[in-house]
Amino acid sequence: MAGMPDAPSAPGRTVVVGGGPAGMLLAYLLARAGLPVTLLERHQDFDREFRGDSLHPWTLEQLDRLGLADRLLELPHVRARWFRFHTPRGTITTSDYGRVDSRFNFVALMPQARFLDFLAREAAALPGFELRTGASVNGLIEDPDGVERSAGGTSIGTVTGVRYRVGSDEHELPAELVVAADGRFSKVRRLAGMTAESMGAQTDLLWFTLPRRDDDPDDGDVDLYFGDHHYLGLLSGPGRWQVGYSLPKGGIAAVREAGVEPIRRFVAEQVPWLADRVGLLEDMNATTLLSVDISRVARWHRPGLLLIGDAAHVISPVGGNGILMACQDAVAAANRLVPALRAGTVGEDVLAGFQLDREPTIRQVQDSQVRTERKVAAARERGRPITPPAFLRWLTRIPAVRGRSARRNAYGPNPPWLSPALLGPVARIGDTDRG
């Protein structure tokens, strides 16, 4: 029957909406801490193409502290050591992850669905975790007694749960806290009346795959190839290459009208060793458009609700930082939320503290991405590829410079670290001493 509530919720239950890296890792950390958490995922599974596949050293180090990294890396993946720019003036190796002082001195390239399935299996073994797939949130439950906001002086209700649909059945799920981790087009964010402000991305990417062969270059795992008007992003993976073809923002209609032949020709010119298989890209139906966005919500919370990951701030694919920022959000949120949930209340000071922790980093990453977008757009308008200055080509020949660049990308600015309170033995719901 429509509107019927689910079984009574466990005290202090958190509802996480969205099973991407941010939502899945946060749900795992809360359950590991002995707290009840329900994860609602709109789709039936996590198997969707062209999601970020990069697991950085920071991410692997945190998983290692949780005892998960070795088992995760038993799954098929590619270990990328280098990041390169290929330009008309030659190839520039900007980053060498082999020089990062870490047990995980590489970027693990693994299909995101495989990573999420792994975390879901690990979380399912914890007594406080519940995953509900095919669950589409369509409303927020709110306490009608308003909570005064200092900014603007308006009163809004406290979020106390969600309404969602599975098939034709409507459900209600009460919660101590709702966390929106449902991506750049966040339904929860819209239901809460919160908006993201675009920072002016000027590029879109058309993604497709080509098979990886045994005699392909073994050091070409994360590369950018710059040509006139376009660039290619090449990302390796088990048995395949993901290829991203850049186009002007909103330019997909002209690309579709021209068809795949110009794309095939550009790939063959820029990456000659892929020329023998570009014919496998048969038509535009084999491509997926990623509309690049860089945007941020001014306030990432309201009473009873927290936004994390792309729901709060959209990171572009530039630099491959999407999963890194999402996982860092999850860790920073868990560090704040676990003590508060154990104490029985999550005030706005806790939610605001999370934004204070993370917003400076996000601003720094997004500002860098905006500058890169503008440079790419300016070069495209001139009809010339991006050509880094000569001093950069010489500078990046110094191993220490490559190492420093890799470390910056491996960890991001001001990375959070798992609180010791989250690293002990797995807690059980109802434990009197949770450490």
Closest alpha carbon to 186 in 307, 85, 303, 293: 307
pLDDT at 433: 43
% of the chain exceeding 90 in pLDDT: 68
Q: Do the beta carbons of residue 326 and residue 183 sit within 8 Å?
A: no
DSSP class of residue 70 equals H
pLDDT digits (tens, 9 = 90+) for 39-96: 999 998 887 665 678 999 999 999 999 999 999 999 999 999 999 988 887 888 999 9
pLDDT digits (tens, 9 = 90+) for 260-303: 999 999 999 999 999 999 999 999 999 999 888 899 999 999 99
User: Where do the domains of the chain lie?
Assistant: 14-76+107-198+294-376+415-422, 203-248+251-290
Phi and psi torsions of 203, nearest 5°:
-140, 145
pLDDT digits (tens, 9 = 90+) for 185-225: 999 999 999 999 998 788 899 999 999 998 898 777 889 99
Which option is the CATH number for 203-248+251-290: 3.30.9.10, 3.90.1150.10, 3.40.50.150, 3.40.120.10? 3.30.9.10
pLDDT > 90? residue 3 = no
Mean pLDDT of the 337-351 span = 94
pLDDT at 432: 38
Sign of the CA dihedral running 215, 221, 226, 232: positive
Q: Do the beta carbons of residue 242 and residue 325 sit within 8 Å?
A: no
Mean pLDDT of the 387-403 span = 83
pLDDT > 60? residue 435 = no
Report residue 376's pLDDT band, with 50, 70 and 90 as the boundaries. confident
Mean pLDDT of the 101-118 span = 95
pLDDT > 80? residue 410 = yes
H/E stretch holding 159 reads strand 155-166
pLDDT at 132: 97
Amino acid type, 153:
G
Share the mean pLDDT of the chain.
89
HSE-CB for 288 with a 13 A CA cutoff: 10
Structure tokens given for 242: 């993901």
pLDDT > 70? residue 166 = yes
pLDDT at 50: 53
H/E stretch holding 432 reads none
How many secondary structure helices (H) and strands (E) does the chain include?
Answer: 11, 22
pLDDT at 384: 73
pLDDT at 393: 77
Spatial distance between the Cα atoms of 274 and 242, rounded to a whole number of angstroms: 12
pLDDT at 176: 95
The secondary structure of 315-363 as a DSSP string is PPSGGG-HHHHHHHHHHHHHHHHHHHHHHT---HHHHHHHHHHHHHHHH
Spatial distance between the Cα atoms of 225 and 41, rounded to a whole number of angstroms: 36
Report residue 394's pLDDT band, with 50, 70 and 90 as the boundaries. confident
Spatial distance between the Cα atoms of 141 and 144, rounded to a whole number of angstroms: 9
Mean pLDDT of the 307-321 span = 88
> Is residue 177 helix, strand or coil?
strand
pLDDT at 8: 44
- Starting at the edge strand that comes first in sequence, how are the strands of the sheet with 107-109 ordered? 54-55, 107-109, 78-80
pLDDT at 430: 56
Which option is the CATH number for 14-76+107-198+294-376+415-422: 3.50.50.60, 3.40.50.1970, 3.90.230.10, 3.30.420.40? 3.50.50.60
Q: Do the beta carbons of residue 159 and residue 141 sit within 8 Å?
A: yes
